[in-house]
């Protein structure tokens, strides 16, 4: 238990807190890298059915028998009726894993939110992936195939990119928390995650660039924000 406690203390220190703007700028690079990989076609098709996306530009994994992970990112909600994007609401992710694992690894993580249950999870102060909201490793390939679990069976599908290697990633048991401090810095006032994701907020150039890129993946269009 003592080792677990120390690990949870050490990981955020190693990761170093990133500013909201830094997260947004890095996220665009993450999306561009992901979409350029040949096996990301299934991700793009899944995105066309999604109601939101979460991007952790850097998810730090530290392990020595007991492993831990820590990431800082943000969520954007997509309204399938109006085709408008809402957010960002900033979030953190923490988790533990067990087994043979040694060293430090940087990974980029993208979560595709498929339904309202997933969106509701990110409006709470905290929730557990796989506990409160179902999560599964995202399907890979140039296209979605009939034998993959993509028919809204899971609320969230996860993808990771590590040194150019693209894969689905299991996140069962990982904890997500709203990053209230980052939201306050970004919006200049205390605002809840539900307010951010349910009502329109003026978008900074960094967010507009992300939305434009997402729209180009989904529809070949850019936003008019």
107-122 pLDDT tens trace: 899 999 999 999 999 9
Q: Worst-scoring range by mean pLDDT, 12-26, 65-79, 143-157, 208-222?
A: 143-157
Q: How many CB atoms lie within 10 A of CB 32?
A: 11
Residues 18-73: pLDDT tens digits? 899 999 999 999 999 988 888 778 889 999 999 999 999 988 877 666 667 889 99
Number of structural domains the chain divides into? 1
Domain that holds residue 180: 2-218
Residue 137 lies in a domain: yes
Residue 8 lies in a domain: yes
Q: How high does pLDDT run on average in the chain? A: 82
How many Å from the N-terminal Cα to the C-terminal Cα in the chain? 49
Residue 149, SS3?
coil
Q: Is the pLDDT of residue 152 over 50?
A: yes
Residue 56 lies in a domain: yes
Q: Is the pLDDT of residue 223 over 80?
A: no
Q: How many CB atoms lie within 10 A of CB 28?
A: 18
88-117: average pLDDT: 82
pTM of the model: 0.85
Estimate to the nearest angstrom the gap between the alpha carbon of 119 and the chain centroid: 12
Contacts of 122 (CB under 8 A, 6+ apart): 52, 54, 75, 89, 91, 113, 176, 178, 193, 197
Phi, psi angle pair for 149, to nearest 5°: -85, 80
Kindly state the tokens that stand for 30.
């993450």
Residue 200 lies in a domain: yes
Estimate to the nearest angstrom the gap between the alpha carbon of 81 and the chain centroid: 22
78, β-bridge pairs: 85
Contacts of 16 (CB under 8 A, 6+ apart): none
196-204: average pLDDT: 89
Residue 20 lies in a domain: yes
What is the per-residue pLDDT for 186? 96
Kindly state the tokens that stand for 186.
């970004």
* Alpha-carbon gap, residue 137 to 205, rounded angstroms: 31
Residue with tokens 């349910």, as numbered in its chain: 198
Kindly state the tokens that stand for 84.
């408008």
Residue 224 lies in a domain: no
Structure-model confidence comparison of residues 93 and 100, the more confident one? 93
Phi, psi angle pair for 3, to nearest 5°: -65, -40
Residue 162 lies in a domain: yes
150-168: average pLDDT: 71
Residue 111 lies in a domain: yes
Q: Is the pLDDT of residue 166 over 50?
A: no
What is the per-residue pLDDT for 14? 47
- Out of 3-17, 88-102, 171-185, the most confident range is 171-185
Let me know: does 53 contact 214? Beta carbons within 8 Å.
Answer: yes
What is the per-residue pLDDT for 66? 66
- In the chain, what percentage of residues exceed pLDDT 90? 49
């Amino acid at each position: 238990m003592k080792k677990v406690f120390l690990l949870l203390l050490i990981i955020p220190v190693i990761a170093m807190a990133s500013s909201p703007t830094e997260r947004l700028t890095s996220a665009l690079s993450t999306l561009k890298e992901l979409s350029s990989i040949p096996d990301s076609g299934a991700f793009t098709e899944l995105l066309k059915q999604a109601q939101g996306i979460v991007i952790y530009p850097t998810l730090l994994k530290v392990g020595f028998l007991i492993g831990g992970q820590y990431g800082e990112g943000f969520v954007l909600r997509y309204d399938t009726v109006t085709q408008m994007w809402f957010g960002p609401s900033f979030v953190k992710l923490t988790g533990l894993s067990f087994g043979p694992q040694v060293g430090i690894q940087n990974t980029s993580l993208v979560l595709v939110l498929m339904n309202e249950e997933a969106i509701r999870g990110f409006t709470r102060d905290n929730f557990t992936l796989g506990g409160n909201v179902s999560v599964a490793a995202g399907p890979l390939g140039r296209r979605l195939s009939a034998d993959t679990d993509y028919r809204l069976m899971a609320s969230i599908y996860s993808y990771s990119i590590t040194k150019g290697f693209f894969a689905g990633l299991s996140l069962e048991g990982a904890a997500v928390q709203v990053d209230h401090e980052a939201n306050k810095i970004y919006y200049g006032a205390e605002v809840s995650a539900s307010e951010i994701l349910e009502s329109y907020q003026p978008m900074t150039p960094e967010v507009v660039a992300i939305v434009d890129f997402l729209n180009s993946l989904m529809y070949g269009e850019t936003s008019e924000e």
